A and B are shown apart, each in its own frame.
Chain A
Amino acid sequence: MSGLEDLYREIILDHYRNPRNQGELEVPPAVMAEGFNPLCGDEIKVHIQVDDGVIVDIKFDGQGCSISQSSASMMTTAITGKTLEEVEGIIYSFKQLMSIHEKSLEGGSETVGSSTTGLGDLQALQGVVKFPVRIKCATLGWNTLEQCFEELDEN
């Protein structure tokens, strides 16, 4: 597979063309955070609603490239219905996936550590690490989600 096809997997383009959970939620009860990628001008808004420590609803909205938008879309499907603790685990695994050095990828996908299994479709984003400038695109929605958590803590 060429690097390019590795980056733009079918599932990524699917989430880009048909984003899941796009939109906004009412604040309150939801909390909202905004993220920017100053390099490319991408912007994203993430709304989450948490009841009894469980993410019962999440929506995202914004403008950005296929990587930032699909990553946010996949993130929403991965964390809906999960407890905050479980979500922290998913965020951790995703960031691990994004920090795997190019070298370890050259041997193929089996070198991906066990800590990143369980990410489901999100595994498709592993091709991004070969393109370091795009890592910021892939993590934009996630960093914004973390900002939502900070909002929660403050409330």
Chain B
Amino acid sequence: MSFDVSDIKKDFPLLSCEEHNDSLIYLDSAATSQKPQKVIDVVSSYYEEINANVHRGAYHLAEKATTAMEDAREKISDFIKSERSEEIIFTKNATESINLVAKSWGAANLGEGDVVLLSSLEHHANIVPWHQLAESQGIEVRWIPLTESGLLDLTDLDRLLEGVKLVAVSGASNVLGTVPPVRTLADAAHAVGALCLVDASQYVPHRPTDVEELGCDFLAFTGHKMCGPTGIGVLWGRSDLLEQMPPFLGGGEMILDVTQEGFTANTIPWKFEAGTPPISEIVGLGAAVDYLESVGMNNVLEHERTLTTYALNTLKDRFGDELIIHGPHDVSVRGGVLSMAYQDIHPHDVSQVLDDHGVCVRAGHHCAKPLMKLLGVGSTVRASLYLYNDESDVDALADALEATGKFFSR
């Protein structure tokens, strides 16, 4: 399918609704993406036509709901090239997916002095669960440093890997856009007998994903950043690992048997899905995957690369040294996340004036305070691109930045 961004934009009602008078410039997809009409329709028709609890009723409707949910699992499994759909575990979001690994696999397998190696790019979601294990079981959290340009500095990797049991890295940074060499890290982890977890929250929405190619053991991502609903995330894990891991939460759905004496855990994936799952959200995520497949993830990647190049060039041409864009500028190793410092205007003030021009960007530490500290800033202005953005959005950002400069020099 050929990719025409003006057609894509029309698929997203919020981007063309009258309330915003066509003047909404949405550049905050790293925080959450907008939703295509198809996803919205599938979610509402689920409630209108299918709604029943899953895995519980013998009646026709309950079967339909169960099928809808399990079909979505298949789709999501295919989307990331997983060989077995039982390797897809539904969670609330990427944060819960990572916590599941830390609290189940980590608690069972890590102890005093074991090392979890993180990159310096990580989101708090892939930091705090490991800090918690440091507190509860005495593990050590170690950091892969960054180069000047915001890439991972792997020169000392061999030394960094000593004592490591898990390498946990983001597939793409939500601050700098950096896309680390996951395959290299996964292979290096395996060579020392460690596992590799990828926080793919900013990866899966933006490029074709193949868990075999990535070579990792766990992959965490979140539905709302990939055109899906909020409240639904995914943990993919290698089935041999998942089978050995103890359950995370206990309750209904996750058991085969319960007696007064104890319980027997269900098989995967349900072993990790205690309680009534977010069924409509799962079905909605299935629809989001259908939508992204119909556009083609290669097209999404290509479009974002072209647009990121346009953005980097436009901002450089128009603002020169007045605007700093953190992180790598080579689009082959970065995604469409642009973290900026503009003149000496505080990011909060920049985003306020941008908002006045209808431009939605994020100002803050982006849940990556250790990275902010390395960058030597308290916060940045972050504009992030997705499949529905086009050059006019980048131009609007540049115009609004110029207006911001004028406003604060009055």
Q: Give A contacts to B, CB under 8 Å.
A: 2-4, 7-8, 13, 39-43, 63-67, 131, 134, 137
Decide if A41 touches B352 in the complex (CB within 8 Å): no
Which of A3, A7, A64, A131 makes the CB contact (< 8 A) with B346? A64
Question: Considering only CB atoms, which chain A residue lies closest to B379 in the complex?
Answer: A41
Q: How many residues of B contact A (CB 8 A)?
A: 16
Query: With A64-B346, A65-B349, A66-B346 in contact, is A40–B356 under 8 Å at CB?
Result: no
Residues 338-387 of B contacting A (Cβ, < 8 Å): 346-349, 352-353, 356, 363-365, 369, 372, 378-379
Decide if A3 touches B378 in the complex (CB within 8 Å): no
Query: With A4-B356, A65-B349 in contact, is A40–B407 under 8 Å at CB?
Result: no
Decide if A42 touches B378 in the complex (CB within 8 Å): yes
Question: B59: which A residues are within 8 A, CB to CB?
Answer: none
Given contacts A40-B379, A64-B346, A137-B348, 8 further A-B contacts (CB under 8 A): A4-B352, A7-B352, A8-B407, A40-B347, A40-B365, A41-B372, A42-B379, A65-B349
Docked Cα-Cα span, A137 to B349, in Å, equals 11
B78 to chain A, nearest CB (A): 38
Docked Cα-Cα span, A7 to B379, in Å, equals 21
Decide if B348 touches A67 in the complex (CB within 8 Å): yes
Q: Give B contacts to A, CB under 8 Å.
A: 346-349, 352-353, 356, 363-365, 369, 372, 378-379, 407-408
Which of B348, B353, B408 makes the CB contact (< 8 A) with A40? B348
Docked Cα-Cα span, A8 to B356, in Å, equals 12
Question: A65: which B residues are within 8 A, CB to CB?
Answer: 346-349
Decide if A41 touches B364 in the complex (CB within 8 Å): yes
7 contacts between A and B (CB under 8 A): A2-B356, A40-B348, A41-B365, A41-B379, A42-B379, A64-B378, A65-B349
Docked Cα-Cα span, A65 to B348, in Å, equals 6
Pick the most buried of B347, B348, B363: most chain A CB atoms within 10 A of its CB. B348
Which of B348, B363, B378, B407 makes the CB contact (< 8 A) with A4? B407
Decide if B379 touches A4 in the complex (CB within 8 Å): no
Question: A2: which B residues are within 8 A, CB to CB?
Answer: 356
Question: Considering only CB atoms, which chain A residue lies closest to B346 in the complex?
Answer: A65
- Pick the 4 closest A-B CB pairs, nearest first: A65-B348, A65-B346, A41-B365, A41-B378
Docked Cα-Cα span, A59 to B352, in Å, equals 28
Decide if A131 touches B352 in the complex (CB within 8 Å): yes
Question: Considering only CB atoms, which chain A residue lies closest to B380 in the complex?
Answer: A41
Docked Cα-Cα span, A40 to B377, in Å, equals 11
Decide if B408 touches A13 in the complex (CB within 8 Å): yes
Docked Cα-Cα span, A137 to B365, in Å, equals 15
A132 to chain B, nearest CB (A): 12
Decide if A66 touches B378 in the complex (CB within 8 Å): no
Question: B356: which A residues are within 8 A, CB to CB?
Answer: 2-4
Question: B353: which A residues are within 8 A, CB to CB?
Answer: 4
Docked Cα-Cα span, A32 to B349, in Å, equals 27
Docked Cα-Cα span, A40 to B346, in Å, equals 10
Question: B347: which A residues are within 8 A, CB to CB?
Answer: 40, 65
Docked Cα-Cα span, A63 to B348, in Å, equals 12
Decide if B364 touches A39 in the complex (CB within 8 Å): yes
A45 to chain B, nearest CB (A): 14
